[in-house]
Amino acid sequence: MSVLTEQGAMEARAASAKIIKRRQWTRILRSRTAMIGLFIVAFWVLAALFAPILPLYSPTEQDVTAMVDPTPSATHWLGTDILGRDQLSRLIFGARTVLTVAPLSVAVAMIVGITMGMLAGYYGGWIDAVISRFSDVILAFPVLVLYVILIANIGPSIINIVIATTIASAPGIGRITRGLVLGLKHQEYIAAARLRGESTLFIMLVELLPNCRSMLIVDACLRIGYTIITIGILGFLGLGLPPPNPDWGGMVKESTTVLNVWPLMSLVPSFAIVSLVLGFNLLADGLREAWKP
């Protein structure tokens, strides 16, 4: 009889979880904030995906005739930079770089940070103390200064930007995960999993992590936006991807010498950075409102 009761309770919980998920997705689809953010992000993602088949100039091809007058024309819709390279082409191909580096960097940082937070929150004791003190040391540094120190020492490249992002972001992600785990590990379903003889890895991945998912996804969207800004700043400081790779921050830097004469050369990549960051922030706000208990 007790087995039937427990089975009925499990089925009821599963049905309740499905209803809650359905309501959450309905809220997301009805959220103007989330849909606007998703539209902006999707626009740049599609532009980046289809960049190789679009009728664009090569991002490194120079038009000597356009160097004298880089203003928009029928040939170059957004004009050219100071070296005669098509701005529209560099903008679209630059999106490929940003939308590869930023999500990849945040994904690696999330894996490391979630692992740290799970271990610290679940085990506690000296493991929590060591991880927390390490996180405090990293978080004591201003983020941008930490990025500059790391990139300046190990050199600018995609892999090094991922490494720097992981070192700078993982402690913050770990602290968020630790707080969530501390609030969940004493719940009844965790005790039931222990009584069933489930392994620690199973409890972390199957019982704890799914219940932390919504907060971590929102945090990941926000961090992608912050990482895009950071990549732009590093490019402006000359610590981004090495030329001639199209880099939005590098495009802004190259235009500073002619800013008073041709401001569009600087405004175009700046608008691209702002719009993409705004898209991820709006998407994060919409998801947070939809997943609110």
* Section 58-72 average pLDDT: 71
Q: 80: which strand partners?
A: 86
Mean pLDDT taken over the chain: 83
Percent of the chain with pLDDT over 90: 28
Are 144 and 233 a contacting pair, CB within 8 Å?
yes
pTM equals 0.85
Distances (CA, A) of 90 to 35, 47, 85, 97: 27, 12, 8, 10
User: Over 50: is that where the pLDDT of 1 sits?
Assistant: no
User: Over 60: is that where the pLDDT of 61 sits?
Assistant: yes
Q: In whole angstroms, what is the distance from residue 69 CA to residue 64 CA?
A: 10
* Section 158-163 average pLDDT: 84
Residue whose C-alpha is closest to residue 179's, from 108, 131, 137: 131
Are 215 and 176 a contacting pair, CB within 8 Å?
yes
CATH number at 31-290:
1.10.3720.10
User: Ranked by mean pLDDT, which of 1-15, 28-42, 137-151 comes out on top?
Assistant: 28-42
What lies within 8 Å, CB to CB, of 250 at 6+ separation is 235, 236, 238, 240, 241, 243
Domain boundaries, the chain: 1-30, 31-290
